[in-house]
Structure 1
Amino acid sequence: MSNVMGALLCGLAGALLLWAGLHDAARVRRLRHHGVRTVGMVVDNVRVRDSDSGPTWAPIIAFADQHGYRVEFTPSMRGSGMGLATGREVTVVYLPHDPQTARVFTRRHMTGPVVFVLAGALVFLGIGAAIAVTG
């Protein structure tokens, strides 16, 4: 009975991650095709948590939307190689009706979250399938 429950839980987690990844991929597609591109400025880097290897920092990026309102956001992609120095100008893309969808317009920042979520989905679906086959 526990193998069935494990397979179902892993399958459910994998399905939810798959849905989230595909939903995010659709958002990236909309951003690429319909997004407004503008220049943003990294206005700060804030400490978000401490790990065994030290603190993790997240950039805060500010830009003016098409109506002139200031919008600030923090990219979801963080970690080594993803940092952005304070004062750096970056290209930002956002949907005209929802500036909070903004992302830094680089390959890493646009597709990185999608790749990680879909990879997690495959891992959970694979584990669920392995449990189901061996159980």
Structure 2
Amino acid sequence: MGMVLCAIIGLSLLVLAIRDAFLVNRLRRHGLRTEGMVIDNVRVEDSKSGPSWVPVIAFTDNLGYRVEFAPQARGAGLGLSVGRRVGVIYLSHSPHKARVRTWRHLILPMFWLSFAAIAFLGTAVLIVLTG
């Protein structure tokens, strides 16, 4: 049972990592670049790691609409102070999927999803080999 659960979780995380890789690739090839501003930091409660602060970034898309988003990448070293201007990249048909245009914010989510997928899939293999 543990092997099946680890395999399902690992495969699910791998699918999410691949999906994120495709999004980042589309952003790099077809994304529109603009500048946004950090307008707020909101407190987010996490039952495992406790409260953290997530920046809210606002920018104007190519149609002139104001878009606000919170970066997907969160954690130590990824915070952004209110009032800071940041580069933003987004797809014209889905500006709500915008990302901060830095290596950390573009690549780290995919990296951590891949790492977690490998850990779960590796655990599933270990369970099979030792069981």
Q: TM-score range by the shorter chain?
A: over 0.9
Q: 1:53 to 1:130 in 2, by over 3 A?
A: closer
Q: Structure 2: give runs of 5+ residues left out of the alignment.
A: none
Report SS of the residue matched to 1:87: coil
Tell me what 1:104 maps to: 100
**Per the alignment, in what secondary structure is the counterpart of residue 83 of structure 1?**
coil
Amino acid at match of 1:38: T
Computing the radius of gyration from Cα coordinates, the structure with the larger value is 1
Displacement of 1:55 in angstroms is 3.6
1:71 aligned partner:
67
Deviation at 1:78, TM superposition (A): 1.4
The Cα RMSD (Å) is 1.5
Question: AA paired with 2:57?
Answer: I
Residue 38 of structure 2 is aligned to residue 42 of structure 1: yes
Instruction: Classify the secondary structure of the residue corresponding to 1:28.
Output: helix
Q: In the alignment, does 2:10 pair up with 1:14?
A: yes
1:15 partner letter: L
Residue 51 of structure 1: CA displacement? Answer: 7.2
Q: 1:57 to 1:126 in 2, by over 3 A?
A: same
Structure 1, unmatched stretches of 5+, are none
| Structure-1 residue corresponding to 2:89 | 93
What is the match of residue 26 of structure 1?
A: 22
Q: Does 1:132 align with 2:128?
A: yes
- Give the aligned residue type for 2:67: V
TM-score, normalised relative to structure 2:
0.95
> Residues of 2 paired with 1:56 and 1:103: CA distance?
19
Instruction: Tell which deviates more after alignment, 93-102 or 52-61.
Output: 52-61
Count of aligned pairs between the two proteins: 131
Mapped to 2, the partners of 1:66 and 1:9 lie a distance apart of 44
Q: Deviations over 1:2-46 (max 9, x none)?
A: xxx211111111111101100100100000110000000000111
